Structure 1
Amino acid sequence: MNRSGIAITGGGGRLGGELGRRLSAAGYAVTLIDTRFPAWLHGPSPGIRLVELDLLSTRAQSVLRRALEGSRVVLHLAGLHGLHLRQGMRIPDIWRSNVEGTWQVCAASMAVGAERVVLASTTALYGPGSPPGDDAMILNEQRAPMPDNPYATAKLAAESIVASTVGSAAEGVSLRLGRFYREDESSYQLRKLSTGLDLEDAADAFVAVCEAPRLPCGVYCVASDLPLPTEARLALGKDCRGVLKQHLPGFVDEVARRGWSLPPRVGRSVDSSKLQSMTRYRPRRSLATLATKWRAEMRSVR
């Protein structure tokens, strides 16, 4: 795909802003679209254009079409998240934002001739994972979704809109992202045993999708996952420590030394190998990276 315009809805968020900076630095003309932007984005680089727009407003289509003109790739990050649901956001608002908003973006993208539309979806649509005593679920593109909350259900509907609206006219892609919300350092890192996704890896995944010459339509799972064989991924559901001791020597002891609480098991493990096989995406912030950093720190104090 030639270097050309890239539009990002939800461009005022953490991920959208990071992508805007990266893609602009790489030479792309970037349009960020959001209802509002943080102060630091009001003085962006010359390669970034800001468009303030509510995707659910009556003028959404006309403004969106003008904003998307010249964009070959549209990254649709805008929407309400599972965190909003836990904070008490109304279910109809979750639905309108994630479903109706996706339709608005897809319709405008097709009207201006965009060649690739990429939805930020979620691994939450697979449900909570296996019960204690069972092997961990391997979350990949072959596993059937089992959404168990309104947010996940809305994202599954949004994926359907991308598939049906974009269809054969362009490449419609849904990235099922692991969770990259940062609460504290230990949970942010150890969640990578399951569905954790580092913000840096999330940005890497979208950049890789933008730069792929061709990308078959469909869904792709994204996480900061360790390159574990199937047997090890399954075993995470019964013996998390044993898997780490075998595949990441020294990590368990270092976790204990730092006072972190390692879970005895995890009920699900994301496998991002399909996206890795189709693009340049490689998780750079997995627990293997953390282990390497810790070993370097230990050597420096000896």
Structure 2
Amino acid sequence: MTAVDLSFPSWLDDPALPVRCVQADVLSAGGGYELHRAIADCGVVVHLAGLHGLHLRQGASVADLWRSNVESARRVTAAAVEADVRRMVLASTTAVYGPGSAPGEPAAILDEARAPQPDNPYATAKLAAESVMATAAGAGIEVVSLRLGRFFREDEQSYQIRKLSTGLDLEDAIDAMEAVCVAEQVASGVYCVASDLPLSRADRYALGENCHAILESHLPGFVAAAALRDWQLPAQVGRSVDSSKLQTAVGYRPRRSLARTAERWRAEASRRRQPPQRTTMREEVTP
């Protein structure tokens, strides 16, 4: 495996790791040449780099964000076409769909059939990057844009509860990327990725009206268990990401949805209910 980045953590210096690190700036004057050399023998190119909306709040400009997300995608695409790679994968975002439904209305289902409605510079730039990379499909390359749910971790509670809507566990994101990379064939297009529960469309719509009822139906006891832990579950959810297309295409399965949290809580409760082990002491008599 070859990794291209501006810098690398020291632990990647381990020669036992099967990773070739190429330090390069894709956006520099000679970046295209360096990138082409790096991926010359690669079958699959995964484009992860880019600025996020968080970077805007930390002082980055919209121009920086656009250049980092869109211009980098153009250069990666050009290098991939020149190197005649088999597949390109872009880390995109479900943010391209814009805001969800109003409180009390059926939740918006975010899937590949839904028209994008980006409402911020980051989402707009990612949608543009998708379009740029899609041009490589004309060169016979499989081009896959993974619209990833949010996996930024603020705290454990929000990280898990977000999985009711657009949340994606980081490890599920890695699983999805790996599944797309190793698949024998993947149809070009966009695919939504989330750590979503296996809900019907009717249940996904109903999340916008009575989230607790849907949870109780699919994860009995979860709402009460959350209350005991002071987890504030939302009464309504405005968006629900459906990852079923990717699941069908490459066998991806979100293994870290709220169902896993429920299983962990049940295991903890079971351990607490178990009676303490009785120990017996044998008297020793000294003659």
Q: TM-score range by the shorter chain?
A: over 0.9
1:129 aligned residue: 100
2:150 aligned residue: 179
Q: CA deviation at 1:168?
A: 4.2
Where 1:54 maps in the other structure, the secondary structure is coil
Q: What is the letter of the counterpart of residue 64 of structure 1?
A: L
Q: CA deviation at 1:215?
A: 0.5
User: Aligned pair 1:216/2:153, yes or no?
Assistant: no
Q: Where does the alignment leave 5 or more consecutive residues of structure 1 unmatched?
A: 1-29
2:270 aligned residue: 299
User: Aligned pair 1:63/2:31, yes or no?
Assistant: no
CA contact (8 A) 2:81 2:139 kept: no
Where 1:186 maps in the other structure, the secondary structure is helix
Describe how 1:60-209 pairs up with structure 2 within 5 A.
60-209=31-180
CA contact (8 A) 2:109 2:204 kept: yes
Q: What is the letter of the counterpart of residue 50 of structure 2?
A: G
Q: Normalising by structure 1, what TM-score?
A: 0.88
User: Aligned pair 1:278/2:249, yes or no?
Assistant: yes
Deviates more, 1:215-224 or 1:43-52: 43-52
Shift of the 65–57 alpha-carbon distance from structure 1 to 2, 3 Å rule, reads same
Describe how 1:257-276 pairs up with structure 2 within 5 A.
257-276=228-247
**Which contiguous aligned blocks of 4+ residues in structure 1 show a shift greater than 3 angstroms?**
none
Instruction: Give percent identity, aligned residues only.
Output: 60
Q: Where does the alignment leave 5 or more consecutive residues of structure 2 unmatched?
A: 274-287
User: Aligned pair 1:287/2:249, yes or no?
Assistant: no
Among candidates 221, 236, 250, match of residue 250 of structure 1 = 221
**Cα deviation per residue 1:258-291 (whole Å; 9 max; x = unaligned)?**
1111111111000000000000210010001111
Q: Structure 2: how far apart are the matches of 1:206 and 1:155?
A: 17
Q: CA deviation at 1:194?
A: 0.3
CA contact (8 A) 2:103 2:238 kept: yes
CA RMSD of the aligned region, Å?
1.0
Q: CA deviation at 1:185?
A: 0.1
Q: CA deviation at 1:166?
A: 3.6
Rg larger in structure: 2
Shift of the 200–46 alpha-carbon distance from structure 1 to 2, 3 Å rule, reads closer
Q: Structure 2: how far apart are the matches of 1:130 and 1:296?
A: 36
User: Number of paired residues?
Assistant: 273
CA contact (8 A) 1:65 1:108 kept: yes
Q: CA deviation at 1:131?
A: 1.0
Q: Normalising by structure 2, what TM-score?
A: 0.93
Q: Structure 1: how far apart are the matches of 2:242 and 2:57?
A: 26
